[in-house]
Structures are given as C-alpha cells and as structure tokens.
Structure 1
Amino acid sequence: MALQRADGSRATFVAQARLVRVGDQNILFSPSRRAMFALNDSAAEIWRALQEGAAGKTIQRRLMEASVETALDDWERLGLIRPLAPSPPVFSRDYVNQVLAIAGRRIRIVYPAGIAHPTASVFAHLQVPGEAADVLFQAVQHRERIHLFRNGAWVLSCPPAGLATALKGELLADALGRDDYELALHAAALFNGERLMLLCGQPGAGKTTLTLALAHAGFGFASDDVTLLNANGLGVGLPFAAAAKSGAWPLLGEFCPDLDAAPVFRRPDNKRVRYVLPQQFSPSSMSPRAVGWVILLRRDRTSTPRLDPVDPVAALRGLLTGAFAPAQELGSTAFDALAHVIGSAQAYCLTYSSLADGVELIRGACR
C-alpha cells in the first residue's frame, strides 16, 4: 500500500507492514517477512503519521509537542514541577468555599467551581457558617492534576478523583498536629447514650464495615478510624465520612441503601472507595464521652461467632497498636488516661464473619 499525503499526492514510501496494538505494546507485522517488530510509542507515532501522509517536518513537530507534553505530565505527577502558589481566595462564582469545624479548629477549603463537587459533599456534614478560619486549604487545577496548598504552601498533587482522599488525609494530619489531646487511637468510635465504644483491629478486620453496620443498627457514629483521648480519659472521634472500600460494597448494601449512588473516589494506591456518612450523625457526635467498651476485632470465617471478655492488658495492647502521641512518645499523662479507660471499660474480643452476627453480639453486650 502506497502512503498518501493529505493533499492527495503520493509519498515516497510504500507500507509493507501493519501496525497493531496488542495489550500495551505496539506491534509492526510484516507479512512478506513473516516477522513482528515491537515499537516504542514514539516509533509507532511516526509510523501512523507516515500512513496519514504527513511530511517529515510535520512529524518532527508533532513528536516534539507530544514529547514535551508527556514530560510535563510525568514531572508534574512526580511532584517535580507545580503551579505557582495561588493568590488569596476571592468570593465569586468561580470558587466554592467551605468552612469546616474539626476538633475545635475551623478550616477553610477553597475549590475552583468546576472541581468542587463531589469532593465538597464528602465534608458537608462538618460545614459551619462564617468565613474566619485557622487554616486555609486551596485546590488549584493545573493540566490534568489538582494541586493542594495549605496557607499558601504547596502540599501535594493528585488526580481529580483523588482529591477527597487527599484532603481527608491533610485534615487528619492537621488535627493530629495539635497538642490539646493526650493520645490518638487508631480506633473507630460509636456511642450508646453517654458512653463511647471503641473498635480496634488489624487491617482487614472489617472495622469500617462493622462501624457502618452498627450505625445503621442505632448506635451513634463518632469516627471510623481515629479517636482522640484527653487527659481525663474522655474520647472524641474525628467524624470524617467513612471510607468504604470496593470489596465491602456488596456487604454494605443492606445497611447503606444509597451506597450505589455515591461517587467513587481513588486512594493513592488507586483502590476505589465511596465515602459514607450514617444518617444518624449529628453535631453531638463530636462531644467528649467516657469510654464504656473496648472491642478487639478478629475476623474468622471458620470459627463460631462469639464475644469473649479479654484481659485488660490485652485490651491495652490493642489500643496501643497504631496509637499516636503529639510529642511522638507516650508520656505518663497519656498512659494514665489510657489506663483509666481500660480500668473503667468493658473489654471484649469479637470473633465474627458476618456483619449480622457481629452487630447482634455487640448489641447484646453494649446495653
């Protein structure tokens, strides 16, 4: 087949091979030689341009532009280049402003209007009126990525689908960076009346899924991941919307009927999540409460579901796993607060497989 230019004239080349895409590779197949040749993306682009009849200089210009765009995209993704710091935000139709109340602080987030939703909806339950804030986050769209600035300083970049997860991480880091608590526990928190229940477990134990199921069963939702403990042993959850991973979506259908309609976001590891806020959430969820129950989770499909009392030392170990102190080390005040929690709370180990069994056992114990 002779290659033909766009103006209809014949080129000086005759194509004697066919370019195909196999998986993620460009393959050039020569029938006459019965041979295949692997081409990199640049060589494949040259071949396509020749087939289209492009002149040599046109091909060079096209490749140069593509190379520059690819390099800029790669460097921006790797954090090697970024846009300039944004100007102070203005109140106009071009921006969406949110002021959130989190752990006693007010945080303002400014999004370009075109990218605000659905990310802004993930934090809408924490929104409060007013403009004054302690911290300012600004999201800036540049090319195919979103850049996040904190008080004018660049923090990170992410794809648009990752903005909600990135913001949640930064808001959590801001809360943990304060010094008005003694210990941050890697534990979900729910409440029954005036007492708090803490759920602890290794990754994969189903902490978030069980938390949402318990909230659906009538427990108050306080946190699905981090609970702060003050010097008096009172706990307060950081009530971000729970991140339900894709593997849990089928399990949560019964407890979260609107889950399928929730937008899908991406974590930095590219796993998909949907953010879920139990309908029972209210501002009172953020009130400090005494810890009444500590439940260590053990997911096991081969064992009979049961809720067994555990030794206080075992409960202490469970709470200390993944715990974080503002001073980077567990001081005596923090340990005393934690010992007070263990001394006054009922501690159990929940062995379960199905959510229904887990909910029923916990409801029976936490009355």
Structure 2
Amino acid sequence: MNHHEAVNRTVGPGPAAHSRATFVIQGRLARVREQNILFSPSRQAIFTVNDTAAEIWRSLEGGMPPDAISAEMTRAGVDRLEANEHVEAALRDWQRLSLIRPHAPLSAPAQGAVSQMVAIAGLKMRLDYPAACAFPAIAVFRHLEVRSERADVLLQLVEREGRVHLFRDGDWILSCAPDELPVMLKGQLLIEVLDRGAYELALHAAALLRHERIVLLCGKPGAGKTTLTLALVHAGFGFASDDVTLLDSRGHGVGLPFAPAVKAGAWPLLAEHYPDLDAVPVCRRPDGRRVRFAVPSDVAPPSPIPIGCVIQLRRGRDAKACLEPVDPASALRVLLNGAFAPGRELSGAAFDALTQVIGSADTYCLTYSKLDDAVELITKACR
C-alpha cells in the first residue's frame, strides 16, 4: 500500500478551540475476527486498538471534529471529562505513531509564529516556529542566523495535542515531543545539507581550527569527540564542527557548525570549562538520552580550509595518554568509517580528495583517559 492512499481523508474543523486542529488521516482501520487493527503505511506497522478507540477513529475518518466526538460519547453515557481524556489520549498516540497529522500550514508564517533564517554550508533555510515551541530550539540555532529574504528550504513547525510536527515545503516529514525538537531539527538541517550541498564527501569528524588549518577528530561513538572538541575550543582552538565535516574536490574542509549536543555523562567533565552549562535547558534525543546544547560563541568561516591534522580517538579507562603517528592506509580507513557521499557511492573524485588530505596532513591515533591529557597532546602536535 502506498502512503498516498491514506492521506486524502481529513478531519474538518469545528467551532471550539480544540477543534481548530484539523488532521489528515494517514492510517487504515480494519476489524478482523472481532479485533480492531490500525495500519500505518509510513511506518509499515500494525497496532491493535479497543472498541472505544476504534469508534473515535471512525468518527475522525467521517470528518467529525474532536470536540464533537467527545460530545457524542457523552450523549452515549460516558462522563464528559472521561470522554475528553479518551479523545485527547487517542490523538496524542496517533500523532506519535504517524497515524494522523495536522494539515500543512500556509507558506506565510501563521499569526504568532516566530521565523528564523539560518545558513549552513551555503544553504539558506527558514524555520517557522509556533511561539509556544520556539524556545529553546531557536536559541540552539541562533549562531547560524543570516539576513536574507530568500530561503532554499522552508521548514515549518506545527504544534497539536502535545506533539510538534515538521513540514518541509508543505510536505509532512515527522513529529516529536517538544523537548525533542532541537535534536530533531538539527537532524533535519543536516539531512538538507547532505542532500543539497556541494561537496565530494561528508566525514563523520569534528573540525577545529588551528593556525589556519583544520584539525579533524574521528572516533567511534563514545570516544569523547564532542567533549574533547569543547575542551579544545576552551583551550583556544576555533570551532568548525563537532560531528560532520564536508570535503571539497581539493581535499579542503568545511565544518557544519551545529551546536554540540553534550550528553549527561559529560556535563560534570565540562563544568570547569563551561560553568553555565548546568543552566542550559535539557533536551532529549529519540533514544531518550538527555543532552544540553553548548552553543558556540564563535565559529570558523564557512569557506573551505586545508586539513592540517587527522586524529583518531581511542578513549579507555586508565589508559596512558599517547599520540602516535598512523600510516596512510589506516588513516584512510578511519576517515571512510561513517563517511557519506552524494549519491551514496564513493566516487573517484571523493577518493582523490581523501588521498589529498592524507598526503598533506599529519595523521595520529590518540589514546587517552583524562581530558586534560588529550588537550595537552593535541595542542603540542598542532603548534
């Protein structure tokens, strides 16, 4: 079944404030052997619902606004407060499961909306927030703001029933809880850059600036890339990216300077360097992990910069700190790990760009346990 088979049925608006939220039905309901089964085409998933929820669903399909559904349940003998709770819980769950969604917003910002224009790697994107949901997300991307009347991409956010829905140029993309919004938006902005940007290869690497050269930090999840990046910025390195760096055809790099998302385990480690971090709002990732965004006060220019150093990170408990040279083949393998190429396939030009990086940059493997030891070794290597 294709997604569009289920999206042409809508819930019409009603007179009450609750009913102004119109929904597009994205799922299908069937009753099989006395069991109510909901199918989500977008998730390719099946959910079972009780008879009360099934009646609410059929009423939505029939165009009945939520307040009218509650009133109908009340006339059938259900307590009004209980009826409201049933309907609201169903709407929340079905939005979370991508079974229903709001209508696409108008291209112009809605009344009370807050707009933000950002630029990343030359791509200009407009973000339209409902005023009630704008903070803290708008602060997380403040350092990326530009003055421009034209946007390459329009991303609009709509809040309904405790969920925030993202639309891209009028097309629904996904929804999330309000405290997941900064993480979700960061992911979508990254997707836009990777899909539309001009580059040969995107590296899973942090980028710092030192003496007009980029220092790349690579490592598996948990290697401490974000924490070490922030510690190096505090030590005087320029910030370009904490996660993804683009390579052009010459092997020069452009960092994507999103604010680093610091996981809860690293908050105490960075307390000395960033004493205000504990006052930053806590956000959640889709996996439930808590993060705080350390918004940089300054970022490297968006123009391509030569790569001066590539460092693979290996963090281990009680490991003796050392920085050892790495041979070209090993360094290439490190950079290719998690790399993304336009078209999903590494081209000859992308490989040539990588070899130019390895041919001109110093390549190391850093083993460390303590953050201060790592900062000291990298600082010495980059003099």
Quickly name the TM-score band, shorter chain normalised: 0.7 to 0.9
Where does 1:1-367 land on structure 2 (aligned, <5 Å)?
A: 59=78, 62-90=81-109, 94-178=112-196, 180-279=198-297, 281-282=298-299, 284-367=300-383
Cα separation, partners in 2 of 1:256 and 1:349, compared to 1, 3 Å: same
- Aligned-residue sequence identity (percent) comes to 59
Q: Which runs of 5+ in 1 are unaligned?
A: 1-41, 43-54
Cα separation, partners in 2 of 1:196 and 1:56, compared to 1, 3 Å: closer
Q: SS of the counterpart of 1:348?
A: strand
Q: SS of the counterpart of 1:70?
A: helix
> Could you tell me how far apart the structure 1 residues matched to 2:75 and 2:255 are?
64
Q: In the alignment, what sits opposite 2:28?
A: none
> Could you tell me how far apart the structure 1 residues matched to 2:76 and 2:170 are?
44
Q: SS of the counterpart of 2:243?
A: coil
> Could you tell me how far apart the structure 2 residues matched to 1:90 and 1:180 are?
29
Q: SS of the counterpart of 2:87?
A: helix
Alignment-mate amino acid for residue 177 of structure 1: D
Alignment-mate amino acid for residue 88 of structure 1: S
Deviation at residue 90 of structure 1 after TM alignment: 3.4
Q: Give the root-mean-square deviation of aligned CA atoms.
A: 1.9
Alignment-mate amino acid for residue 92 of structure 2: D
Deviation at residue 236 of structure 1 after TM alignment: 0.5
Alignment-mate amino acid for residue 146 of structure 2: V
> Could you tell me how far apart the structure 1 residues matched to 2:135 and 2:82 are?
36
Deviation at residue 278 of structure 1 after TM alignment: 3.2
Alignment-mate amino acid for residue 269 of structure 1: D
- Work out whether residues 231 and 337 of structure 1, in 8 Å CA contact, stay in contact via their aligned partners in 2: yes
> Could you tell me how far apart the structure 1 residues matched to 2:228 and 2:287 are?
23
- Work out whether residues 220 and 285 of structure 1, in 8 Å CA contact, stay in contact via their aligned partners in 2: no
Matched residues, number: 312
- Work out whether residues 109 and 128 of structure 2, in 8 Å CA contact, stay in contact via their aligned partners in 1: no
TM-score computed with the length of structure 2 as normaliser: 0.78
Deviation at residue 301 of structure 1 after TM alignment: 1.7
> Could you tell me how far apart the structure 1 residues matched to 2:272 and 2:197 are?
40
TM-score computed with the length of structure 1 as normaliser: 0.82
Deviation at residue 77 of structure 1 after TM alignment: 0.7
Q: SS of the counterpart of 2:268?
A: helix
> Could you tell me how far apart the structure 2 residues matched to 1:65 and 1:195 are?
60
Q: SS of the counterpart of 1:90?
A: coil
- Work out whether residues 109 and 138 of structure 1, in 8 Å CA contact, stay in contact via their aligned partners in 2: yes
Q: SS of the counterpart of 1:274?
A: strand
Alignment-mate amino acid for residue 188 of structure 2: E
Please identify the structure whose Cα radius of gyration is greater: 1
Cα deviation digits, residues 191-249 of structure 1 (max 9, x gap): 10210000000010000000000000000000000000000110000000001011110
Cα deviation digits, residues 275-317 of structure 1 (max 9, x gap): 11233x14x4322111000000000123211111111111111
Cα deviation digits, residues 295-349 of structure 1 (max 9, x gap): 0000012321111111111111110000000011111000000001001100011
Q: Which runs of 5+ in 2 are unaligned?
A: 1-51, 53-73
Q: SS of the counterpart of 1:177?
A: helix
> Could you tell me how far apart the structure 1 residues matched to 2:209 and 2:79 are?
66
> Could you tell me how far apart the structure 1 residues matched to 2:245 and 2:76 are?
63
> Could you tell me how far apart the structure 1 residues matched to 2:84 and 2:268 are?
45
